[in-house]
Structure 1
C-alpha cells in the first residue's frame, strides 16, 4: 500500500486520481505544503509525496510516471514511438499549461508581497489560452489525447483545466472544455473529489 502526503487543493489531486484509476491501495495523509507533516517526509516541505517501498518520491509528474510504469497502465512501453508521443504531451502540458498556472499562483499568493508582479497574469492567461488551442490541435479525433487510450497526460491536462477554472483563466476552447468535462465524469475523479 502506498502513502500519499498532500492536500487536495495541490498537485496531490493528480497522484490520488492516478491511484484511483489504477485501483491501487493507498492511505492519504492531508498535509499542507511546508507543514510539519510534509517536512517529515520531504525536508523541502513540498507536496505531493508518495511513499513507495519505504522511499519518499516527490514531484507529481515523476510520481505518476512511476505509478504508470510500475502498474503497466495509462502509459505506453518505454522506447516505443507511442511513449515518445505520450512524453511529448506530458512535457507540453507541464511546460505550457501547468507553468502558466503556477507562475500566476506565485504572483497571486505564493511569493512575498514585495516580489509579486500582478501585471504578469494577463500575459500568462494569453499564453495559457494559446497553449490550450495547440493542445487540442494535437489531440486528433479520439476521446483522449493519444486517441482511444487514456494515458498519464490526460490526467495532467484535465487537472490543469480544473485549476484554470478556479484561477479564472480563459476557457474559450469548447473542445477543451468538453474534454475536461468528460474527464471529470470519470468515477476515479469523483472518488478523489469525495475525499475533500
Structure 2
C-alpha cells in the first residue's frame, strides 16, 4: 500500500486525487507545515527538498507531483488515465505536463510565494502584480491548447487533467480570472468539469479530515 505525505490545499491533493481516480488504497500521513514537520531530519530522509507531496512505495519515495501521477497511471491505469508509451498522444500528454508545470503553474506559485510562502523579508510586492500579468498572458495559450476538447489530451481523462485541474483550483482560490476577460470561457467550463469529479471531492475531503485528528 502506498503512503502519501501531504498537507491540505497543497500539491499533495494531486496525488490523493490520482489515487482516488485509480481506486487505490493508501495511507495518508499529515506533515504539518505550520509546525515545521517538513524540516525534520526524518522527513528530509524521504524528501530531501523538504517539500510535499511525497509518495512512499515499496521501491522508494517519489517527490514530484507530475512524475508521481504519471507513475501511478503507468503502473495501474494503462488504457486509462494515460496514453500508450511511444504514441503521438503520449507525446502530447508529456507536452501538456511540461507546459502546465513550467508555464501555467508558475505565475500562481510566484503569487503565493510573494504573498505568504516566502519569509516576509524576501517578498516583493511588485511580484504579485507581475504574477497576475503573467497568468493572464499564459492563460490564452492554455485555452488554445485545450480548444473544444473535453479534457486536455482530447476525450480521455488523463493525469494531465489532475495537474491542470489543481492548478486552476489554485488560480480560483487566488481570485484569478479564468476567462481572461471573456476570451477563455472554455477554460472556466473545463475547470468546473474536472473539479466536479467525485475522486477530487474525496481527495480533498480526506486531506482536510486529517487536520482534525
Q: Shorter-normalised TM-score: what interval?
A: over 0.9
Corresponding residue SS for 2:21: helix
Secondary structure at the counterpart of residue 123 of structure 1: helix
TM-score in terms of structure 1 length: 0.93
In structure 2, the residue matched to 1:145 is 152
Q: What RMSD, in angstroms, separates the aligned Cα atoms of the two structures? A: 1.6
Instruction: Establish whether residue 66 from structure 1 lines up as the match of residue 71 from structure 2.
Output: yes
- Counterpart CA distance in 2 for 1:118 and 1:38 is 32
Find the residue that maps to 1:46 and give its secondary structure. coil
Task: Tell me how far apart the structure 2 counterparts of residues 111 and 186 of structure 1 sit (CA, whole Å).
Answer: 32
Q: Could you list the runs of 5+ residues in structure 1 that have no partner in the other structure?
A: none
Aligned mates of 2:110, 2:136 — CA distance in 1: 15
Partner of 1:179: 190
What aligned pairs does 1:40-79 form with structure 2 within 5 A after superposition? Answer: 41-71=46-76, 72=78, 73-79=80-86
Once the two structures are TM-superposed, the CA of residue 40 in structure 1 deviates from its matched residue by 5.3
TM-score by length of 2: 0.86
Query: Any unmatched runs of 5+ in structure 2?
Result: 209-213
- 1:1-30 CA-to-partner distances (Å, cap 9, x unmatched) read 110001121100001000000111111111
Q: Does structure 2 retain, via aligned residues, the 8 Å contact 1:19–1:26? A: yes
Offset, 1:130? 2.3
SS of equivalent to 1:3? strand
The answer to whether 1:12 aligns with 2:17 is no
User: What is the DSSP-based 3-state SS (H/G/I as helix, E as strand, rest coil) of the residue aligned with 1:194?
Assistant: helix
| Paired residues of 1:104 and 1:120 also in contact (CA < 8 A) | yes
- Structure 1 residue aligned with 2:204: 193
Q: How far apart are the structure 1 equivalents of 2:164 and 2:57?
A: 25
| Cα distance in 2 for residues equivalent to 1:170 and 1:142 | 20
1:5–1:38 Cα contact (<8 Å) kept? no
